[in-house]
Amino acid sequence: MARLEGKVAIITGAAQGMGASHARLFIAEGAKVVLTDLNEEKGTALATELGENALFVKQNVTSVEDWATVVAKAEEKFGSVSVLVNNAGITMAKSILETSLEDYRRIVDINQISVFLGMKTVIPSMQKAGGGSIVNVSSINGIVGGAIGYTDTKFAVRGMTKAAAMECSHYGIRVNSVHPGVIATPMVVQEDTKAAVEEFSKHIPLKRVAQPEEVSNLVLYLSSDESSYSTGSEFIVDGGLTAM
């Protein structure tokens, strides 16, 4: 039996990179998947590629109204939601002196507020489903320090995950966070950063960056019933970086 058979999942930031990888694996494992993103062209193309068990919905993850629309369309098309993967996010590599209040609020809205809104909006649907699993994608910068703004929000996701896990346990809803290290996504492996990423990879204990599928396998585990006794925890996939 497929590992996600009978489950309805929402994956944000699913048009490319890790989100697209998660969506492909979820479909292969039997889930019905709602993919959301601001990139309508790539998101629609991916949903078409994945077939009848995939639906793309254009979404601004910082919008209360958009979140309500996504959940409503998921329930209308597939039924009550049983899995939420809060994957959407952005990076920012400015110093604290270079970071404006507008910069800071933007990254907080996209990386942190969106996770709160996603959980708040999806939990009632999961209650109707009889339970579920929420996977919040943080970063190793939710474990150790990094750039201002980005690190702050990723630590916040880690904390929200624990608070929500405690609150939702009696609903049969599990909440966990995933903390990727350096992953070979379009956001990371660009022409102007490729050489720097390759050089940095020499300092990773496993001597390479991860492929998106390696993160997807962990997200799949946490979304499936195989992780039925895991909640409120952080799961690191970083090639050993945070062990140094």
In a domain, 244, yes or no: no
Separation between Cα atoms, residue 143 and residue 166, nearest integer Å? 20
In a domain, 192, yes or no: no
The model's pLDDT over 9-23, given as tens digits with 9 standing for 90+, comes to: 999 999 999 999 999
Query: 150 catalytic, yes or no?
Result: yes
For residue 191, name the pLDDT band (cuts at 50, 70, 90). Answer: low
Query: Strand, coil or helix: what is 105?
Result: helix
Query: Strand, coil or helix: what is 133?
Result: strand
In a domain, 191, yes or no: no
* Domain with 72 in it: 8-184+212-233
In a domain, 200, yes or no: no
For residue 189, name the pLDDT band (cuts at 50, 70, 90). Answer: low
For the segment 153-169, the average pLDDT, to the nearest whole number, is 98
Q: Is the pLDDT of residue 192 over 70?
A: no
In 3D, which of 4, 3, 70 has the Cα closest to residue 31? 4
In a domain, 40, yes or no: yes
Dihedral sign (CA 40, 157, 75, 221): positive
In a domain, 48, yes or no: yes
Helices 17-28, 40-50: axis angle to 10 degrees equals 20
Cα-based distances in Å from 200 to 91, 139, 181: 17, 17, 12
Q: What is the 3-class SS of 189-228, one letter each residue? A: CCCCCHHHHHHHHCCCCCCCCECHHHHHHHHHHHHCHHHC
For the segment 58-86, the average pLDDT, to the nearest whole number, is 98
> Into how many domains does the chain fold?
1
Q: Which of 150, 171, 221, 229 is catalytic?
A: 150
Record the tokens describing residue 218, joined without a space. Answer: 């962990």
Strand 132-137 with 234-237, pairing? unpaired
pLDDT reported for residue 187:
63
For the segment 215-236, the average pLDDT, to the nearest whole number, is 98
CATH assignment at residue 162: 3.40.50.720
In a domain, 1, yes or no: no
| 202 Cβ contact list (under 8 Å, min separation 6) | none
Q: What is the pTM of this model?
A: 0.96
143-164: b (≥16 Cβ within 10 Å) or e: beebbbbbbbbbbbbbebbbeb
In a domain, 202, yes or no: no
Q: Which residue is listed with tokens 């929402």?
A: 10
Q: Which residue is listed with tokens 């800071």?
A: 104
